[in-house]
A and B are shown apart, each in its own frame.
Chain A
């Protein structure tokens, strides 16, 4: 269960078309991440699948059945919201029970499922508390618990971790991934954070202005971005994109080289520049280099630590094997 197909779906708000005709296939058991800058339509796309927004045209089918006109409740999907959207007047137990109560499931089964979900999510001690008495991470777990007990065809996550602090976010990310391994249910996850996308996804869908720029596994996107947008969006720090004469040498309008595919030397190399800021992370060092004459600022990633100071002259050499080439339209040249 959990095969979702979008066929030529569009969405307009008034005269503004936010999703131009779009096709997408989400396979059973897949962990799919929609990623893109804010306003790219990723949340709208998720809400169209959920049924919280009506499609302007096109068809959505879930497990082979046309779900385009079905109300959210009839689609068999569960959603976890960014704000958790817990019912503040109900205890954790009642929150988790709510979808089962709506489905008319008997009390005994409800109790059993609540206990199982609470155990899996470490919520057993908190079942009788109200959401207001829980921490952010616990609230998010309650929201997930409420989703699990429905045994949905697919889980939809709308930026579920953005309200959590950094440390908690990494922990919850792992928990969600483990949950996916355990349940093997389709999950669709929306985020603007490309690190979340890279670490969690089986399949990433990169969106910009409602258009799918590329669909692929994290490593496909990393190694073979289909265009300049994907190249710049996936990977941290960003890929260096160089235009002009240097690109022309490689028969391209733009060439791209990732910070980790540049080597640094103090004596010689292909490109010369001066060190602006060096960010020492211990495991890595990011050096921002100015005055190369190619781009305003080029970022280099060095594994380990390196002794460089502001104003030092350094030489950079790209790994030609890892060079990406794009044509005048911004599309990848194979």
Chain B
């Protein structure tokens, strides 16, 4: 029997949910609002919420002072490149672990995940030195590879979970029906795994887009993505909250729009298997 929920109770729950949602969204909202204020209003005490002189001045200054498009392109290349490369490596890996598991498969999966438990700064020194030695400091390709490696455990885990949901008998049926390995992947497995693959790509793209530790430490000019663009406005010499906010808004806007349009896909992907 379904639990009886009174209307009052429902209204209360809805209010709480909205409250929590707003609380989580508030920093982003505040950043966006601040980006339209003057520097004086941005640090006004008490803060002004909506009733200030809306201005686009900060955006103009930011665009003038730094080349937004170059940072944006770097972000797209680094996040996109590492995602594509990661998927190419992870699909066969997750595939073999899901469908031809060995005795050590579980251990390997855990070991891969354990690399995420190490603080990134722990390997900063060796990786930094390696980049210098190889002459790839401030290099987009190097960042593509590094971010791919960093997110790989998550991609493999996610794909592994999705593939595990696909019954092996269906693949065997395809094999009996005369499908080659290529046909099996193309006509049977991929169509069945598309929601999983799509949400993995999406999540990984967002993670790579927002990654700040490695992108800040390993880039300076040529390969600097939007994270470096934001960081350049948190200058130690003065507080330019409005400009920093404008830069941040410009940096998160593309990913926010992408996330907005794909939220259904994302939610389905992240709760896949948990609720069937």
Report whether B175 and A72 are in contact in the complex, using a CB–CB cutoff of 8 Å: yes
Q: Within the assembled complex, what's the spacing in Å between the Cα atoms of A202 and B177?
A: 27
**B179 partner, pick from A88, A89, A102, A146, beta carbons under 8 A:** A102
Q: Taking the complex as formed, is A114 at the interface, i.e. its CB lies under 8 A from any CB of chain B?
A: no
Q: Which of A40-73 contact B (CB under 8 A)?
A: 50, 52, 71-73
User: Which residues of A in the span 151-172 have a Cβ within 8 Å of any Cβ on B?
Assistant: none
Indicate if the CB atoms of B177 and A98 lie closer than 8 Å: yes
Q: Which of B146-177 contact A (CB under 8 A)?
A: 167, 169-170, 172-177
Verify if A91 is at the interface (C-beta below 8 Å from B): no
Inter-subunit contact B192/A146 (CB<8 Å): no
* Among candidates B167, B178, B187, residue contacting A103 with C-beta atoms closer than 8 Å: B178
Interface residues of A in 79-128 (CB under 8 A from B): 79, 81-83, 85-89, 98-99, 102-103
Answer whether residue B183 sits at the interface, using C-beta atoms and an 8 A cutoff: yes
Is there an interface contact between B173 and A81, defined as CB atoms closer than 8 Å? yes
Contact of A85 among B167, B180, B183 (CB under 8 A): B167
Complex formed: what's the CA distance from A299 to B176 in Å? 45
User: B188 contacts the other chain (Cβ, under 8 Å)?
Assistant: yes
Give CA–CA (A232, B172) in the complex, Å: 34
Q: Which single residue of chain A is at the shortest CB-CB distance from B191?
A: A89
Question: In the complex where A81-B169, A87-B188, A102-B183 touch, is A52 in contact with B175 (Cβ < 8 A)?
Answer: yes
Which B residues from 119 to 133 make CB contacts under 8 A with A?
Answer: none
Q: Does A241 contact B (CB under 8 A)?
A: no
List the B side residues contacting A52 at CB < 8 Å. Answer: 172, 175-176
Residues of B within 8 A of A81 (CB): 169, 172-173
**A150 within 8 Å of B (CB atoms):** yes
Nearest CB in chain A: distance from B160 CB, A: 20
Query: Is B177 within 8 A of A71, CB to CB?
Result: no
Closest chain-A Cβ to B169's Cβ sits at a distance in Å of: 4
Smallest Cβ distance from A80 to chain B, in angstroms?
Answer: 9
Inter-subunit contact A73/B177 (CB<8 Å): yes
Could you tell me how many residues of chain A have their Cβ less than 8 Å away from some Cβ of chain B?
22
Binary CB contact string for chain B from 40 to 52 against chain A (1 if under 8 A, 0 otherwise): 0000000000000
**From residue B185, how far is it (CB to closest CB) to chain A in Å?**
13
Contact of A73 among B167, B180, B191 (CB under 8 A): B180
State whether B173 touches A73 (Cβ < 8 A). Answer: no
User: Which residues of A sit under 8 angstroms from B178, Cβ to Cβ?
Assistant: 73, 99, 102-103, 150
When distances are taken between beta carbons in the complex, the residues of chain B under 8 Å from A88 are 170, 192
The answer to the question of A78 belonging to the interface, with a C-beta cut-off of 8 Å to chain B, is: yes
Q: Which of B176, B180, B192 has the most CB of A within 10 A?
A: B176
Q: Tell yes or no: A77 within 8 A of B by CB.
A: yes
Residues of A within 8 A of B187 (CB): 98
A50: chain B residues within 8 A (beta carbon): 176
Known: A52-B172, A81-B169. A89 touches B177 (CB 8 A): no
A190 to B235 Cα, complex, angstroms: 74
Whether B167 contacts A99 by the Cβ 8 Å rule is: no
- A102 to B191 alpha-carbon distance, docked (Å): 16
Q: Shortest beta-carbon distance, B162 to chain A, in Å?
A: 14
Please name all residues of chain A whose beta carbon is closer than 8 Å to the beta carbon of B192 when the two chains form the complex.
Answer: 87-89
CA distance A78 to B178 in the complex (A): 10
Majority-rule SS of A interface residues: loop
Closest to A83 in B: B169
Which residue from B167, B176, B180, B191 sits with its C-beta under 8 Å from A79? B176
Chain A residues lying within 8 Å of B175, measured Cβ to Cβ, are 52, 71-73
Contact A85 B188 (CB under 8 A): no
A83, B166: Cα distance in complex, Å: 12
* Distance (whole angstroms) from the CB of B100 to the closest CB of chain A: 12
Contact assessment for B176 and A83 in the assembled complex, using a CB-CB cutoff below 8 Å? no
Task: Mark out the residues of chain B between 48 and 102 whose CB falls within 8 Å of any chain A CB in the assembled complex.
Answer: none
Contact assessment for B169 and A85 in the assembled complex, using a CB-CB cutoff below 8 Å: yes
**A86, B177: Cα distance in complex, Å:** 11
Closest Cβ–Cβ distance, residue A291 to chain B (whole Å) = 48
A79 to B177, CA, bound (A): 8
Instruction: Give A296 Cβ to nearest chain B Cβ, in Å.
Output: 41
Nearest CB on A from B176, distance (A): 5
Chain A residues whose CB sits within 8 angstroms of the CB of B170 once the complex forms: 85-88
CA distance A79 to B175 in the complex (A): 10
Q: 1/0 contact trace for B244-260 toward A, CB 8 Å? A: 00000000000000000
Query: How far apart are the CA atoms of A72 and B170 in the complex, in Å?
Result: 14
A14, B143: Cα distance in complex, Å: 43
Bound form: Cα–Cα A99–B179 in Å: 8
The closest CB in chain A to the CB of B175 belongs to A72
In the assembled complex, the CB of B170 is this many whole angstroms from the nearest CB of chain A, namely 5
Do the beta carbons of A146 and B177 come within 8 Å of each other?
A: yes
Can you list 23 A-B contacts with CB-CB less than 8 angstroms, sorted by A residue number?
A52-B172, A72-B172, A72-B175, A73-B176, A73-B177, A73-B178, A77-B176, A79-B172, A79-B173, A81-B172, A85-B169, A85-B170, A86-B170, A87-B170, A87-B174, A88-B170, A89-B192, A98-B179, A99-B177, A102-B179, A146-B173, A146-B177, A150-B177
Name A's B-contacting residues (CB within 8 A).
50, 52, 71-73, 77-79, 81-83, 85-89, 98-99, 102-103, 146, 150
The 7 closest A-B pairs by CB, nearest first: A102-B178, A85-B173, A99-B177, A73-B178, A85-B169, A89-B191, A79-B176
Further pairs besides A52-B172, A99-B177: 9, Cβ < 8 Å: A79-B172, A83-B167, A85-B169, A87-B170, A88-B170, A88-B192, A89-B191, A102-B179, A146-B177
